[in-house]
Chain A
Amino acid sequence: MLDIRDIAQGLRSAMGPIEEANGLPSPLYTSAEGFELERKQLFHAGWTCIAYGKDVPHPGDAKPVSFLGAPLLVLRDRDGAVRVYENVCRHRGMILVDAPRNFGGVIRCPYHSWCYSLDGKLRATPHVGGPGINRHDSINPDETGLTPVRAAIWMDCIFVDVSGTAPAFDDWIAPLAARWADFTDKPLYPGAGSSFTLDVHCNWKLAIENYCESYHLPWVHPGLNSYSKLEDHYHIEAPGAFSGQGTVVYNPKLSDTQSFPNFADLPAKWDTGAEYVSLFPNLMLGIHRDHMFAIRLDPISHERTIENVDIWYASEEAATSDAYAELRATNAAMWKDIFIEDISVVEGMQKGRHATNFDGGRFSAVMDSPTHVFHAWVAQRLHG
């Protein structure tokens, strides 16, 4: 059994100055106990992205989510607001919804048919007082609704705080919202045919730490490096919140004749600028003048992670029309190729983490600072 004391020294080291620090200790990559610790102290103790708004586009749409084992239900209510509940009946604890679907009326529990409206209220308790008697004084519908989970939506990403004790969402997201204020007030249109998943055999943290540094670009992404060189990148560091990298030469040529429309009223710096940020713990975002992508990590176990990729565009036409279908497909394929190039290194690091004497690794004090920011965040949250 992993004891926090066993890795305490490694956590302290990860929080130290980058010149002296080691990376996070390997039990956090190679053991179910390490994963359990992170579930409690990272994922279930603060804001985490669990779905996209586009997953529940219409009123009544519902999507069950297993959030590191916690059953949640994401749904869009009749007014178009996204709500998240515990996906469990208040009667005997049956799972309420087992597959994505739309609810025209109430949500009926498949067991004894207690019914809940989309605002979470307990709407019916058939036979609860005996056959044909549908109420009982001991069950107060006002106190027996679906259990709401604190939720927020930002840039079409749905976040939850199952602990209920994290800072207010607006405060939590403020540093990144300020950084990307040029985009946050613009509507986003989910691209048709622009979703894919990658099933990766690595700890979720390896995907984050690889994503937030540009050091590997010339070696792992030679194609990308041909137009976006290492020296064209800069670090992005917001200790305690996010880290990543930006480029000043974003200008891919997807087609000779066509390009996507840009988001409205962007300052000139975005003409050739793009930024790639890991928002801790599990969301990797890319922002460009003409599209945004998100890679939401669903950690399945300490050594398996699903990457859920989606792309959003600046107009309905760019996102859904046939006229842009080929360009969308080209863009999605370009990103998919790049993300696939990363798989061999994150899976390779997962294997490497099993080396008995590996100390978490050293950092380049110049090139690895975004990764160090992430490690220090994890260590701080686990160690306190």
Chain B
Amino acid sequence: MRALHDSGQHGELSHLHEEAATRPLPLEARRFHLTHAWVYALVEGDAPHVARLEDQLRVLGGL
């Protein structure tokens, strides 16, 4: 993930964070991952993905 951070592959990063958020983690950790997934989806300009992540974040109180 660190290598991706520097590589400009934001779509990939977004999906990795989103995937991490599906693991059985405390709510705070899932929200944290979804936040990063959301930011990188915004950077990627992937509007449908952004909308999906915003829905999830709202449910978890992140937006």
Known contacts A127-B35, A132-B35: does B62 contact A105 (CB below 8 Å)?
no
Contact pick for A133, options B39, B41, B61, CB 8 Å: B61
Among the listed B10, B45, B63, which residue makes an inter-chain contact with A134, where contact means beta carbons less than 8 Å apart? B63
Bound CA span A108–B10, Å: 11
Closest beta carbon of chain A to B22's beta carbon, Å: 15
Q: How far is the CB of B12 from chain A (nearest CB, A)?
A: 14
Shortest CB–CB separation between residue A116 and chain B, in angstroms? 10
Interface residues of A in 122-180 (CB under 8 A from B): 123-124, 126-127, 131-135
Complex-state Cα separation, A126 to B42, whole angstroms: 12
Number of A residues contacting the other chain (C-beta, 8 Å)? 16
Q: B residues within 8 A CB of A105?
A: 10, 41-46
Contacts of B35 in A (CB 8 A): 126-127, 132, 134
The smallest beta-carbon distance between B56 and chain A, in angstroms, is 11
Pairwise interchain contact A131-B32, C-beta atoms closer than 8 A: yes
Task: Scan residues 36-62 of chain B and give those whose CB is less than 8 A from a CB of chain A.
Answer: 36, 38-39, 41-46, 57, 60-62
A124-B39, A134-B57 as given contacts; A104 in contact with B32, CB under 8 Å: no
- Interface residues on chain B, size class: 20 to 34
With known contacts A104-B45, A105-B45, A126–B39 Cβ distance under 8 A: yes
* Whole-angstrom CA separation of A181 from B60 in the bound complex: 60
Is B39 touching A132 in the complex (CB atoms < 8 A)? no
With known contacts A113-B39, A126-B36, A131–B45 Cβ distance under 8 A: no
Which A-chain residue is minimally distant from B28 (CB atoms)? A132
| Alpha-carbon gap, A164 to B45, bound state (A) | 32
Contacts of A108 in B (CB 8 A): 39, 42-43
Q: Known contacts being A126-B35, A126-B36, A127-B35, is A133 close to B43, with CB within 8 Å?
A: no
Q: Does the CB pair B62–A132 fall under 8 Å?
A: yes
29 contacts between A and B (CB under 8 A): A103-B45, A104-B43, A104-B45, A105-B10, A105-B42, A105-B44, A105-B46, A106-B43, A106-B45, A108-B39, A113-B39, A115-B42, A123-B42, A124-B39, A126-B35, A126-B38, A131-B28, A131-B31, A131-B32, A132-B28, A132-B34, A132-B60, A133-B31, A133-B61, A133-B62, A134-B38, A134-B62, A134-B63, A135-B63
Known A108-B42, A123-B42, A132-B62; further 8 A-B contacts with Cβ < 8 A: A105-B10, A106-B45, A108-B43, A124-B42, A126-B36, A127-B35, A131-B28, A134-B57
Closest 9 A/B residue pairs (Cβ) = A105-B45, A132-B31, A104-B45, A132-B32, A106-B42, A105-B43, A126-B35, A132-B62, A108-B43
